[in-house]
Amino acid sequence: MRRRGGRLPYGILVLGLVMAGLAGVIALELKSGEPASPPPPPIPARQDRNAAPAAVHAAPGANVLARVNTILARPLFTPTRRPDEQVAEAGASAGLTRLTGIVVSEDGKAAIFAPTAGGKPLIVREGDRVGPYVVSAISAGALTVIGPDGQRVLHPAFDPNPPARPTPPPPVKFPLPRQGPGAEAK
């Protein structure tokens, strides 16, 4: 590895100096005298592995079994899944059109109300008016409005009278090629 004359190659010499410098920096950091951060507190072990978290038990009036039964009665990915009728009727009873959607993005928040009598959908932002109501807050799943009867929280609802699905066209029947004697002669 040595050249003639007993000298090391220039690249190896530079590499050795860099390594020595980095080792010195590490040594200075270790001896800087700052105490290490204390270890995080241990996580207490649960008494019963099958028990629900304490937050579920601490909820006032929580009836977990009833909630589970409600969830299981309305499977998430079924075509017949619809929101509770009370939610859909809440906006209609307040004199508002149906809230069809909420958009929350980096660009802002908007709520979309169903069109009335074949018109265009109404898109509102916080502070806009919808009839006698003022939109006070928009979140990912709810819209809060303030009006003559106080504050109301609306949730998006499906159309109670969706348009009928178009019937699919009948399958196309292609003529089958003739088989048998004389089929090839044309």
Residue 84 vs residue 150, higher pLDDT: 150
What is the spatial distance between Cα 112 and Cα 134, in angstroms, rounded to a whole number? Answer: 14
Which of 52-56, 113-117, 128-132, 181-185 shows the lowest mean pLDDT across its residues? 52-56
| Res 138 pLDDT > 90 | yes
pLDDT in tens, 3-43: 555 666 888 889 999 999 999 988 888 877 666 666 666 76
Residue 132 vs residue 74, higher pLDDT: 132
Q: How many helices (H) and strands (E) does the chain have?
A: 4, 7
Q: What is the pLDDT of residue 112?
A: 92
What is the spatial distance between Cα 71 and Cα 32, in angstroms, rounded to a whole number? Answer: 58
pLDDT in tens, 74-112: 766 666 666 555 544 555 555 688 898 999 988 899 999
Query: To the nearest whole number, what is the mean pLDDT of the chain?
Result: 75
CATH T-level topology, domain 85-154: SH3 type barrels. (2.30.30)
What is the spatial distance between Cα 97 and Cα 120, in angstroms, rounded to a whole number? Answer: 12
Over range 168-180, report the average pLDDT.
79
Question: How many Å is the maximal CA-CA distance in the chain?
Answer: 102
| Res 58 pLDDT > 50 | no
Over range 155-169, report the average pLDDT.
81
Portion of the chain with pLDDT greater than 90, in percent: 19
Beta strands (DSSP E) in 57-165 are 99-105, 108-113, 122-124, 129-130, 133-138, 143-147, 150-154
Q: What is the pLDDT of residue 143?
A: 92
Alpha helices in the chain (DSSP H): 10-30, 54-58, 64-73, 85-93
By DSSP bridging, strand 129-130 and strand 99-105 are unpaired
